[in-house]
Structure 1
Amino acid sequence: MKTFLFPACLLISLTAQAADWPTFRGADRKDISSETGLLKKWPANGPKLAWLNEDAGLGYAGYSIVGGTLYTLGARDAVEYVIAIDTATGKEKWSAEAGALLTNGWGDGPRSTPTVDGDKIYALCGKGTLVCLNAADGKEIWRVTMDSLGGKVPGWGYCESPLVDGNLVIVTPGGSQGTLAAFDKTTGTKVWQSSEWTDPAQYASIIAADHNGQRQFIQITQQSVAGVNAADGKLLWKTDFPGRTAVIPTPIFKDGQVFVAAGYGIGCKSFKIGPDNVIEPLYESTDMVNHHGGVVLVGDHLYGYSDKAGWSCLDFKTGVVQWTEKKALGKGAIHSADGMLYLLEEKTGTVVLIEASPTAWEEHGRFTLQPQTTQRNAKGMIWTHPVISNGKLYLRDQELLFSFNVSGM
């Protein structure tokens, strides 16, 4: 493994607000870091590079950062590994075999982000093996496969990141035995499977919400959006969502309102979960045709890339477009921290910092990720989402994992 360290860039002011990032889109799955004291404007060449790890493995997996360790998935040879990396130095702490390699025409390897809960790691491999590992050394505690639950590997592999909620870890095997399944997070024993909802798995990650006096898990497939009771997996509500080809973005929930989106010309839909879990439609449109770069809700406004109009801002409650911008930056992924949006263009690796403003596109810096991998599939792009944690911006292009210092303190 090669790691390049830039010591002058390692220190982060103790006065800055630091935040761990335990799973995909953060602990609340809103993709908004609680960090403050970050740079509001970047130097001409972008923020300073703290370190570069050149052996994070192949694939499109994201990363979780907890207690000074970054956890990710990566393929080496014909195996998918969970890999732990020291966030101070970029050096690998350990790696553990997780499952057989997913092969795919858009690039082999894992697509999921591990979830950290206490002293354990939960990771879902591309072919559908869920493993629970010891966070300290990668020792395996238990594993289960999605096919044992009636699931079938989706066309681009299992991509969701496991949700840990209370004593449960929840995933989406899909299929006739039930779309969702919950396990005892300590033993791996199945607690329930949502037999009333049997859509095949797609690619989004589950969110948890408290509403109408019930804890529920919300997920989206290519046929529907639904909520199930967290205690027993019983179906609470369901509404149609006719996706096409692949449904990927994570649902968004606020004050009883749900927002979902998809690519391939489908667009977005929003609705209220009313009393007695009756669905109240709010709007449907093609103003946010979001493929897989994600959508974030900052305040009362949604931000993300729409295949129709480019980078877009919508009013969450009404769906009304506030602004669009297509010339400044192409399609890609989004992340938010400290009132700013971090945008990553998938084709070029260009990273742009803008204000999370409903008024207009207001840019505050950009740079292009360098170096870039030579191992990426010709059909693949830079698809791993950006993350801010503990004053650092993390970016990935296959085996290349970058840490940039974005603390303004």
Structure 2
Amino acid sequence: MGLSRDERRGNTRRRVEKPSGTGFNRPGLSGVSRVGGDGMRMCRLVLLLIALGTPAVSLGVEAEAVQDPAPPKVSGEASNTTPPPLKAYVRVKKGTAAKPLSKEAKTHPWTGFLGPTRDGNSTETHLLKTWPKAGPTKVWELAAGDGYASPAIQHPYLVYPHRVGDSVLVECLHAETGQQYWQYKFATAYRDRLGYSSGPRSTPVIDGNRVYIYGAEGVLVCLELATGRAIWKRDLVREFRVPQDFFGAVGTPLLVGDRLVVNIGKVGGPCVAAFHTLTGKLVWVSGKKWGPSYASPRLVTIHGKKRVLVFAGGESRPSTGGLMLIDPTNGKLGLEFPWRSRKYESVNASCPLVVGGNRIFVSASYQTGSALLEVGPDLSSHKVVWKMVDAEHNTEPDQLGLHWGTPLIKDGYLYGFDGRNEPDASLVCVDLKAGRVVWREEPEWEQTVTVQGVEQTLTLSTLRGSFLAADGQALVLGELGQLMWMDLTPKGYKITQRSSLFLARESWCPPVISRGLLYISQNMR
């Protein structure tokens, strides 16, 4: 591996990073702030809310006949839209009340992972681009338990799952005040095999008056949004006999009409399954080769047809996985593109993106690399437009391997955080036509902090950050809890605002924006 940044520069100040290792890398949900009206608001879930090619052919596989191993009992319909009275919640600490939204502001709900289009793009406008000296104003803060989930929001409801003791708590709070509507609880015995958080990983999915929760042990439950009443519940790991993977069940289910698509990841089948949203019954299954990944399924349009894009591949010997293109109506499998590291301790975790109409970008770390595919009109064949290798600590123009972050696509260029471990991380711009890195930078700055009563000057960096495209800029959450607005162009990057929300590792959950409020999850104290 190449030298670390401090070794190259001879920097004697302490740089906050975790040393790279031979295995995998390593929670509080921070709060809410308003990013609307004349500015941005912020809440903290801690939960933090802040106001703010050779053609290759793979013949399509016919949909498989299904037999549901354990159809769930259904407890009525989601017909009660009257929530219980709001009440103060002992875990929520109030901040400054959110300012009213601008009348001109465009807003949206945030009903699942990575927002309305599941690619980290927000259409909200009139967000605060200049913050107070102390940073965006904190509206409220939830002292959260363990987990890596982001909240889902459909005004006025905010739903957030986290683990406290041996229970998963599904919190439903008022999105602007942090007051509690209801709490749903179920038992968990999950223990992460590699020492990471043992809480939920998957973001809730909201559909009308229903919300779906997917736990780390594969528990899938449908709740009435207004009341928290359980309508149906399944244990997918037990029912489909799926062994515990490296990090448990992670990918957020995908809502497609009246179906909920889940990358179950049973090697030998099913890899992917669809369940009816009203009854929880199995509708179709697809794929037999690959296990569960840590990327979430996406609904995309290829050659004018809707397809589910799944980037599969978890724990297996030998390591296997790749890209799948599935007909959401019947589960028929079209394109299968193997793309997975040869290393046993490796994962597929970065969500693939459709670029330029019928092309799909896919990337993975662990010496896997990146590729751009052009899908044929039959939705099964493809050609590889270009490939890039991954050295984990990438430095060359032909090297790119995204670990788990979802990149942004803008005007023919891709912007993402490259690198497997913290010391390997860099911010890159990639020319999607040429398949080459245009520039590679390691944003960093010096910051004086007090740790256990001792004042220290640290060299901080974005490391493996997360993106949100919003209001003409990129909102970036650095891995150590630094929030910033960035301008990204093929000529370089520029940080226009920066604020330290907290100093903690594992700030891995992407920011969430809804109705001018920014929600930040802090995953480690």
Q: Given the two structures, how large is their TM-score scaled by the length of structure 1?
A: 0.90
Distance change (3 Å), C-alpha of 1:116 and 1:276: same
Structure 2 residue 274 is matched with structure 1 residue 186: no
Report the equivalent of 1:218.
309
Which piece of structure 1 moves more, 251-260 or 311-320? Answer: 311-320
- State which of 387, 394, 403 in structure 1 corresponds to 2:519: 394
| Alignment match, 2:215 | 125
Match of 2:75 in 1: none
Q: In structure 2, what is the equivalent of residue 280 of structure 1?
A: 383
296 and 150 in structure 1: CA distance in 2 versus 1, 3 angstrom threshold = farther
Distance (whole Å) between structure 1 residues aligned to residue 217 and residue 187 of structure 2: 8
Instruction: Please state whether the residue corresponding to 2:378 is helix, strand or coil.
Output: helix
Task: Give yes or no for the alignment of 1:293 onto 2:418.
Answer: no
RMSD of Structure 2 on Structure 1 (CA): 2.0
Structure 1 partner of 2:100: 11
Q: 1:288 to 1:85 in 2, by over 3 A?
A: farther
1:258 and 2:357 correspond: no
Report if aligned partners of 1:311, 1:324 keep a CA contact under 8 Å in 2: yes
- Show the 5 A alignment for 1:191-202: 191-194=283-286, 196-202=287-293
| Number of positions where the alignment pairs a residue of Structure 1 with one of Structure 2 | 390
Q: Return closer, same or farther for 1:8/1:234 CA change in 2, 3 Å cut-off.
A: closer
1:30 corresponds to: 119
Does 1 or 2 have the higher relative contact order (CA < 8 Å, sep 6+)?
2
Match of 1:271 in 2: 373
> Per residue, is there more strand in 1 or in 2?
1
Task: Report the residue type matching 2:477 in the other structure.
Answer: L
| Partner of residue 465, structure 2 | 332
Does structure 1 conserve the Cα–Cα contact (< 8 Å) formed by 2:427 and 2:443? no
Q: Which amino acid aligns with 1:97?
A: K
Q: Select which of 231, 234, 250 maps to 1:141.
A: 231
The residue number in structure 2 matching 1:341 is 474
2:511/2:520 contact within 8 Å kept: yes
CA contact (8 A) 1:151 1:201 kept: no
Question: Alignment partner for residue 231 of structure 1, among 329, 333, 347?
Answer: 329
The structure 2 residue matched to 1:83, chosen from 171, 181, 193, is 171
Aligned equivalents of 1:99, 1:293: Cα separation in 2: 30
Relative to structure 1, is the Cα distance of residues 399 and 185 closer, same or farther in structure 2, using a 3 angstrom cutoff? farther
Aligned equivalent of 1:162: 253
CA apart distance, 1:253: 1.3
Counterparts of 1:362 and 1:137 in 2: how far apart (Å)? 45
CA deviation map 1:206-242 (0-9, x unaligned): 0112323532111112321111111111111111102
Structure 1 counterpart of 2:384, which letter? P
User: Could you say which residue in structure 1 is the equivalent of 2:426?
Assistant: 310
Q: Contact 2:97/2:177 (CA < 8 Å) preserved in 1?
A: no
Structure 1 stretches of 4+ moved >6 Å: none
* Whole-angstrom CA distance in 1 between matches of 2:311 and 2:202: 16
Q: CA deviation at 1:181?
A: 0.1
Query: In 2, Cα distance between the equivalents of 1:290 and 1:261?
Result: 6
1:357, distance to aligned residue in structure 2 (A)? 2.5
| CA distance, structure 2, for counterparts of residue 50 and residue 349 of structure 1 | 17
Aligned residues with identical type, % of pairs: 28
The answer (yes or no) to whether the contact 1:336–1:342 under 8 Å persists in 2 is yes
Task: Work out the CA distance in 1 between the residues paired with 2:190 and 2:349.
Answer: 18
State the 1:368 CA deviation: 1.3
In 2: Cα distance, 1:214 partner to 1:294 partner: 23
Indicate the larger mover: 35-44 or 360-369.
35-44
- Following superposition, the deviation at residue 345 of structure 1 comes to 2.0
Of the three residues 145, 168, 184, the one matched with 1:57 is 145
Decide which of 362, 366, 385 is 2:498's aligned counterpart. 366
Aligned to 1:377: none
Distance 2:404 2:299 in 1: 20
Greater shift in the superposed pair: 61-70 or 323-332: 323-332
Deviations 1:101-133 (A, max 9, x none): 432211221111001011100111001111111
Aligned residue for 1:321, secondary structure, equals strand
**CA separation in 1, counterparts of 2:241 and 2:382?**
29
Quick check: 1:172 aligned with 2:275? no
Change (3 A) 1:101 1:63: farther
The structure having more radius of gyration, on CA atoms, is: 2
The aligned residue for residue 385 of structure 1 is 510
Q: Runs of 5+ in structure 2 lacking a partner?
A: 1-89, 314-320, 391-398, 445-460
Q: Say if 1:31 and 1:335, in contact at 8 Å, map to a contact too.
A: yes
Q: Deviations over 1:147-172 (max 9, x none)?
A: 21343332111111111111100101
Deviates more, 1:251-260 or 1:315-324: 315-324
3-state SS of 2:521 partner:
strand
Distance 2:437 2:131 in 1: 28
C-alpha separation in 2, matches of 1:130 and 1:10: 37
- Helix, strand or coil: the match of 1:356? strand
Structure 2 counterpart of 1:323, from 415, 421, 439: 439
CA contact (8 A) 1:333 1:343 kept: yes
Pair 1:362–1:172, CA change in 2 (3 A)? same
Q: Would you say 1:44 and 2:176 are equivalent positions?
A: no
Q: Which residue of 2 aligns with 1:376?
A: none
CA contact (8 A) 2:204 2:252 kept: yes
Provide the C-alpha distance between the structure 1 equivalents of 2:167 and 2:475, rounded to a whole number of angstroms. 32
- 5+ residue gaps, structure 1: 373-379, 401-409
Counterpart of 1:368 in structure 2: which amino acid?
Answer: S
For 1:227 and 1:338, locate their aligned partners in 2 and report how far apart those are by CA, in whole Å. Answer: 31
Amino acid in the other structure paired with 2:352:
P
**Mapped contact 1:154–1:202 kept (Cα < 8 A):** no
The amino acid across from 2:349 in the alignment is I
Aligned counterparts of 2:411 and 2:179: Cα–Cα separation in 1:
37
Contact 1:53 1:91 in 2 (8 A): no
Separation of aligned partners in 2, 1:284 and 1:338: 32
Partner Cα distance (1:138, 1:316) in 2: 45
Match of 1:407 in 2: none
